[in-house]
């Protein structure tokens, strides 16, 4: 599915609801500037939530290769955008993923695709971090996985406390990353310290 040209069932109904939302906010959805807005909003929301229709496990297994490499593999600075499920406002930032293969590796771009799939759902940062880690662990069965997510939340920037520079960092890990030395190696590599 191309998210820019193909849309899921319910698009017209979603647009109708956005028409009502505009009216309930005190706007005139029939004025020139807003005539196409309900459908634009409906299409945007389907694009922003396309992760519900994608299988992250399948993405990893579609590019699975037997390999005896058993050192850390890191894909860092993966940009992401997601929608906070509490206010339906964006949060965005970077994801850093490390895993230690156990007989199999996956295509590097597939790690970024997993991030894309889970971030394109209504989310909280903590759950997204765990879902990425769990998917890689249960699909590749590596010796260990660690995921670190750094994000800015528009719900903190635009409303509420209105703190523009607050960054939220979450992490989750398992296996070999339960050892402080392995986690430290990952964090040093993220900072460019070799």
153 is catalytic: yes
84 is catalytic: yes
Given 46, 84, 96, 135, which residue is catalytic?
84
- In angstroms, the Cα distances linking 16 to 19, 20, 22, 158, 184 are 5, 6, 10, 27, 51
CB 15 within 8 A of CB 38: yes
> d(Cα 65, Cα 46) in Å, to the nearest integer?
33
* DSSP conformational letter for 152: E
* DSSP conformational letter for 28: -
Give the residue from 58, 59, 70, 77 showing the smallest Cα distance to 105. 70
86 is catalytic: yes
Given 13, 86, 126, 184, which residue is catalytic?
86
Given 54, 57, 130, 155, which residue is catalytic?
155
57 is catalytic: no
Q: Chain centroid to CA 166: how far?
A: 19
184 is catalytic: no
Given 12, 30, 67, 85, which residue is catalytic?
85
Given 54, 87, 130, 174, which residue is catalytic?
87
135 is catalytic: no
19 is catalytic: no
Given 46, 123, 125, 131, which residue is catalytic?
125
Catalytic residues: 84-87, 125, 153, 155
């Amino acid at each position: 599915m191309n998210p820019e040209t193909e849309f899921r069932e319910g698009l017209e109904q979603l647009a109708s609801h956005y028409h009502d939302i505009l009216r309930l906010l005190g706007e005139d959805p029939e004025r020139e500037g807003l005539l196409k807005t309900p459908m634009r909003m409906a299409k945007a929301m389907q694009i922003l939530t396309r992760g519900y229709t994608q299988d992250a496990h399948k993405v990893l297994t579609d590019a699975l290769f037997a390999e005896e490499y058993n050192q850390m593999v890191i894909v860092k600075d993966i940009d992401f955008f997601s929608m906070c499920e509490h206010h339906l406002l964006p949060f965005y930032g970077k994801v850093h993923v490390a895993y230690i293969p156990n007989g199999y590796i996956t295509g590097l771009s597939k790690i970024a695709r997993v991030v894309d799939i889970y971030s394109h759902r209504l989310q909280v940062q903590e759950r997204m971090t765990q879902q990425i880690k769990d998917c890689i662990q249960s699909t590749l069965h590596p010796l260990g996985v660690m995921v670190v997510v750094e994000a800015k939340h528009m719900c903190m920037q635009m409303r509420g406390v209105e703190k523009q520079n607050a960054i939220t960092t979450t992490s989750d890990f398992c296996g070999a990353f339960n050892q402080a030395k392995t986690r430290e190696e990952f964090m040093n590599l993220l900072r460019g310290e070799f």
